[in-house]
Amino acid sequence: MSNQQTTTPVTDWNNPRDEHMTTRGLFKSYQKGALGIPVLQGIDMSVYQGEFLSIVGQSGCGKSTLLHLLGTLDQPDAGEVYFEGNRIDNLPYASRDLLRNRHFGMIFQFYHLLPEFTTIENVLTPALISESTLGYWARRRQYRRRAEELLEMVGIEGRAKHKPSELSGGEMQRAAIARALLLQPKVLLADEPTGNLDRSTGEQIMQMLRELNREQKLTIVMVTHDTWIAEQADRIVRLEEGRLEAANPTATSGLIA
């Protein structure tokens, strides 16, 4: 967006070559009976290579909807979404699934772990989805080694054989982060990643995300209603009445309900 300000940039936000994702004129509404409820109204934004971007706003303002459009989980009523210069919102369903699986990692507030799978099996699910049975079987040791390394990185290697019902909320979110990173995504999309956690555990998860962003240069887009969580990002934009506004990370207190 041309009117957005930046704080403590880790790259040149104004250099077009650094744009990782872009939206142009996104509109989205939902039907409630006979009424169309507008959610997003002409969203223009850029996500830059290697940045950590927070999208903040009141509950129900459309933050998750915008994230889902970025991640091709949904399609806009009008407008366009671009990833690395290529339009992605109008791709066929199967192509969007493939793109998401290979290039986007996703983290959700309620983890979305499969209850019948162990922790390491949950981490391996992106590989199971992306590969044919023979392809996965041929590379199973490589994938399992990667999953074990990720569980160690997020600090729950000792819980690899436990099922989600045997994990704490923080452990489940750590497993979800490991799952999101399995196929080495280019962009991590996080939907209220600390929303179901206590403050201490939430701080640990945010520390992990900051380290991923700074050490691995992973592009992260996070939506949150929590001011403190939002301030951990490089840049903040606020969603209000279906439109984006720039927000200074040091001046967001009181803006979010």
pLDDT of 36-87, one tens digit each? 889 999 999 999 999 999 999 888 889 999 999 999 999 999 999 999 999 9
Q: Looking at per-residue confidence, does 4 or 182 come out higher?
A: 182
Q: Who's near 241: CB < 8 A, 6+ residues apart?
A: 41, 61
CATH superfamily to which 50-70+92-236 belongs = P-loop containing nucleotide triphosphate hydrolases (3.40.50.300)
Q: Which pLDDT score is estimated for 248?
A: 55
pLDDT over 70 at 249, yes or no? no
DSSP state for residue 244 in the 8-state scheme: E
pLDDT of residue 94: 93
Confidence class of residue 252 from pLDDT cuts 50, 70 and 90?
very low
Burial class of 207 by CB neighbour count within 10 A (0 to 12, 13 to 18, 19+): exposed
Cα atoms in the 13 Å half-sphere on the side-chain side of 43 = 36
Stated as kind and residue range, the H or E segment containing 114 is none
Q: Is the pLDDT of residue 255 over 60?
A: no
- 106 token code pair: 């996703």
Beta strand segments in 57-133, E: 78-83, 86-87, 104-107
Q: What is the pLDDT of residue 245?
A: 85
80-132 tens-digit pLDDT = 999 999 999 999 999 999 999 999 999 998 899 999 999 999 999 999 998 88
Name 81's Cβ contacts closer than 8 Å, sequence gap at least 6.
21, 22, 23, 26, 69, 70, 72, 87, 88, 89
- pLDDT for res 247: 61
**If you average pLDDT over residues 216-229, what whole number do you get?**
93
Q: With 80 as the cut, is the pLDDT of residue 16 above it?
A: no
Give the separation between CA 177 and CA 119, rounded to whole angstroms.
Answer: 11
